[in-house]
Chains A and B, each alone.
Chain A
Amino acid sequence: MSQPVIQTEQLTKRFGAFTAVDRISFQVDKGEIFGFLGANGAGKTTAMRMLCGLSKPTSGKGTVAGYNIASQSESVKRSIGYMSQKFSLYEDLKVWENIRLFAGIYGMEERLIAPKTDELLTRLGFADERNTLVKALPLGWKQKLSFSVSIFHEPRIVFLDEPTGGVDPVTRRQFWELIYDAADRGITVFVTTHYMDEAEYCNRVSIMVDGRIEALDTPGNLKQQFGAHSMDEVFLQLARKATRKAD
């Protein structure tokens, strides 16, 4: 493997006296699907916001796609895709308008956008829905479209913040197939989730407790290490140690 795509050293974020993220160090390689787990309030979102260039670290350092997250946040933002836990497309825009908007925001060339849109919609089986307003689509479709839009500009890394909240198991399964496709194309996937069955799909998983990374390994190794049958048990063993209240 070459240079890791995400690398952090002692990355810390404090809000006043409260340390939300406490000296975390890890790295993620190209094309990896990296699960970022933790209970509510463990500091996942804060850590992810720092990696996306949305929030400056208090101390420590980190690079994303080779750019320093503190000093080169513009370049970081250009190299990543982001899908928030809330649905992140515009309901009152048509399917193609959403695609075109985000492609435009990421500075894609106009002449490349149209053929790529066609290709994407055909691949998803959405060709007939081109001119449909997004609010008329079923939730599962929206979620898939939202993910496809977040990687439409071919980012090196895509950050997914609880992407499958409120989606039924069948759609979740299909959604993960899209994630695998993206990883196969060399896009690194950094995903937070509450579903432990999804944790099993990841190449490697880290579990945050009280702002620190308490465990980081492949799901198989973690289960062995904690003598557990499922990721659920691993998670519960670690989460029980938390002293911080969930918010």
Chain B
Amino acid sequence: MKQFLVFVRKEFYHILRDKRSMMVLLGIPIVQIVLFGFAITTEVKNSRVAIFDPSKDVYTRQITERIRANAYFDVRYILDSPDQIDQLFKKGQTDMVVVFGDNFAGQINHTGEAAIQLITDATDPNQATTMNGYVTNIIHDWQQERMQTLQVPIQIKPEIKMLYNPEMKASYNFVPGVMGMIFMLICAMMTAIAIVREKENGTMEVLLASPMRPIFIILAKAVPYLALSLVNFVSILLISVYLLDVPVAGSLGWLFVLSLLFITVALSLGLLISTIVDTQVAAMLASGMALIMPVVLLSGMIYPVENMALPLQWFSNIIPAKWYIVGVKKLMIEGLTVGSVVKEMALLSLMAAALITISLKKFKKRLE
């Protein structure tokens, strides 16, 4: 045990002495969260809009003119049949379609109520929400003016339909996503690099020839990165709660347990990579390509998994971060109980157990 502590202290020296890397490791999460939260808000200038107007009356024309006059929208198509709506979306030629109800003016004049449907491509949920908000405002303004001239209450109900991401779960997608990415980066990548560095420098041989058990060498390497991850866990949560108003709706304790599980998976992935490659550069490339890219692209962090081609959807199932992100969303954003993340926890535990077994076996084999 004393040996182990001596060794852990050495690992901390390595990290603390490398000021630049440490700044990066502690700074990245903050920068990421702030970037995703503020900088990458989607300004919806020149959004492409199509209009389907079966009524073609004065009111619909007035509303259409207002949308056309708005700087944020570019009305490109006036559609003749509802079939075209689907086609436009499939070809990616429009971001939004505004559909007026039948006999729009007649309905308003007789019943005081009329329907408008706003269909958006919600692959980018931020943009979709913003567009809906703008158009709803335009309609609302028009409605107010009408009421003043008509002196009768009228109501237009915009019905909002988000295509491709109906549940709009993604509005705070980036917080769980960034957590998944950061833990991968710090635990997997940095652990892999730290172990491979000892191999590259020749110190691993010396350690293996010492009475220190190999398993302790590995564990001691993991401890500082575990600590760093926990610091990041706290800083990410603090920023999201106090700066971005993303509340922790569910149990903080279980969120922590889930994160620890994922961190274990990430650490064992790092260990696995370190047993395969021999240089630090290779370790960095391998973890970048094999771990971090899939997290960004396939875990649902940026692109909703439901939108992917089927083979990619299947493939996304073996990415640990996907399950972690789903779990965090449930616990943190949706405020569900731990019962709802049993599947995610079980899968992550399975992955951790499998990865640890494989990599320890591989690590031992190298010694033979």
- When distances are taken between beta carbons in the complex, the residues of chain A under 8 Å from B201 are 86-87, 91
Residues of chain B lying within 8 A (CB to CB) of residue A89: 203
- CB–CB A105/B209 < 8 A: no
Can you identify 17 A-B contacts, CB atoms within 8 angstroms? A52-B209, A54-B205, A54-B367, A74-B211, A82-B206, A84-B202, A84-B205, A88-B205, A90-B10, A90-B14, A91-B201, A93-B10, A104-B6, A105-B3, A105-B210, A105-B212, A150-B206
B314 interface hit (Cβ, 8 Å): no
A84, B211: Cβ atoms closer than 8 Å: no
A100 CB within 8 Å of chain B = yes
Q: How many residues of B contact A (CB 8 A)?
A: 23
**Closest chain B residue, CB of each to CB of A53:** B209
CB 8 Å contact bits of A108-149 with B (1 = contact, 0 = none): 000000000000000000000000010000000000000000
CB of A106 within 8 A of CB of B210, answer: yes
Residue of A nearest to B217 (CB): A105
Residue A56 at the chain B interface, CB threshold 8 Å: yes
Q: Tell me if B18 is interfacial: C-beta within 8 Å of chain A.
A: yes
Chain A residues with CB below 8 A from B297, complex form: none
In the complex, what distance in Å separates the CA atom of A52 from the CA atom of B210?
A: 9
Check B211 against A107 for contact (C-beta < 8 Å): yes
Interface 1/0 per residue, A47-70 and B, CB below 8 Å? 000001111100000000000000
Residues of B within 8 A of A87 (CB): 201-202
Q: Binary interface profile of B, 328-368, with partner A (CB < 8 Å = 1, else 0)? A: 00000000000000000000000000000000000000011
Report the separation of the CA atoms of residues A90 and B17 in the bound assembly, to the nearest whole angstrom.
Answer: 12
Neighbouring A residues of B208 by C-beta, 8 Å:
54
For residue A80, CB closer than 8 A to chain B, the reply is: yes
Distance between B51 CB and nearest chain A CB, rounded to angstroms:
65
The answer to whether A104 and B209 have CB atoms under 8 Å apart is no
Once bound together, how far apart are the Cα atoms of A97 and B11, in whole Å?
A: 12
CB <8 Å contact, B14 and A92: yes
Quote the shortest CB–CB distance from B216 to chain A (angstroms).
10
A224→B91 CA distance, assembly (Å): 89
* Minimum distance in angstroms from A114 CB to a CB of chain B: 14
Name B216's closest neighbour in chain A (CB-CB).
A105
Indicate whether A104 sits within 8 Å of B205 (C-beta atoms), given known contacts A54-B367, A55-B367, A55-B368.
no
Query: Which chain A residues lie closer than 8 Å to B36 at the CB level?
Result: none
The smallest beta-carbon distance between B266 and chain A, in angstroms, is 24
In the bound complex, CA of A101 to CA of B13 (Å): 11
Knowing A84-B206, A97-B13, say if A77 contacts B6 (CB, 8 Å).
no
Cβ contact within 8 Å between B210 and A77: yes
Within 8 A of A (CB), among B1-34: 2-3, 6-7, 9-10, 13-14, 17-18
How many whole Å from B365's CB to the nearest CB in chain A? 11
A102 at the interface (CB under 8 A from B): yes
State whether A159 touches B209 (Cβ < 8 A).
yes
B227 near A: Cβ within 8 Å?
Answer: no
Interface residues on A, range: 20 to 34
Q: Name which residue of chain B comes closest to A51, CB basis.
A: B209
B215 within 8 A of A: no
B20 to chain A, nearest CB (A): 12
Q: Using Cβ atoms and an 8 Å threshold, which residues of chain A touch B212?
A: 105
A97 touching B10 by the CB < 8 A rule? yes
CB-CB < 8 A to A56: which residues of B? Answer: 368
Cβ–Cβ contact A101 & B205, under 8 A? no
Within the complex, the shortest CB–CB distance from A189 to chain B, in Å, comes to: 15
A174 close to B (CB within 8 Å): no
**Which of A78, A91, A92 is close to B211, meaning CB atoms less than 8 Å apart?**
A78
Interface flag for B207 (CB, 8 Å)? yes
A55, A78, A97, A105: which has the most chain B beta carbons within 10 Å? A105
Chain B neighbourhood of A82, CB < 8 A: 205-206, 209-210
Residues of A with C-beta under 8 A to B3: 104-105, 107
Closest to B213 in A: A74
Q: Which residues of A contact B17 (CB under 8 A)?
A: 92-93, 133
Q: Is A83 engaged at the interface, CB distance under 8 Å to the other chain? A: yes
Chain B residues within 8 Å of A150, by CB:
206
Name the residue of chain B whose CB is nearest to the CB of A146.
Answer: B206
Give every chain B residue within 8 A of A78 (Cβ-Cβ): 211
**A88, B368: Cα distance in complex, Å:** 21
A76 CB, nearest partner CB in chain B, Å: 9
Q: Does A221 contact B (CB under 8 A)?
A: no
User: Which of these, B7, B13, B210, contacts A92 with CB under 8 Å?
Assistant: B13
Q: Determine the distance from Cα of A150 to Cα of B13 in the docked complex, in whole angstroms.
A: 21
Q: Does A85 contact B (CB under 8 A)?
A: yes
Q: Is the CB of A88 within 8 A of B13?
A: no
**Nearest 8 pairs between A and B by C-beta?**
A86-B202, A104-B6, A82-B209, A88-B206, A84-B205, A77-B211, A78-B211, A52-B209
With A84-B202, A88-B202: A54-B6 Cβ-Cβ less than 8 Å: no
Residues on A with C-beta less than 8 A from B9 are 101
Interface flags for A172-214 (1: CB within 8 Å of B; 0: not) read 0000000000000000000000000000000000000000000
CA gap between A87 and B206 in the complex, in Å: 10
Give A167 Cβ to nearest chain B Cβ, in Å. Answer: 15
CB-defined contacts of B211 to chain A, threshold 8 Å:
74, 77-78, 105-107
Give Cα A194 to B17, complex, Å. Answer: 36
Asked if A101 contacts B206 (CB within 8 A), the reply is no
CB closest residue in chain B, given A77: B211
Known contacts A92-B18, A106-B210; A85 and B10 CB within 8 A of each other: no
Considering the complex, give the chain A residue whose CB is closest to the CB of B2: A104
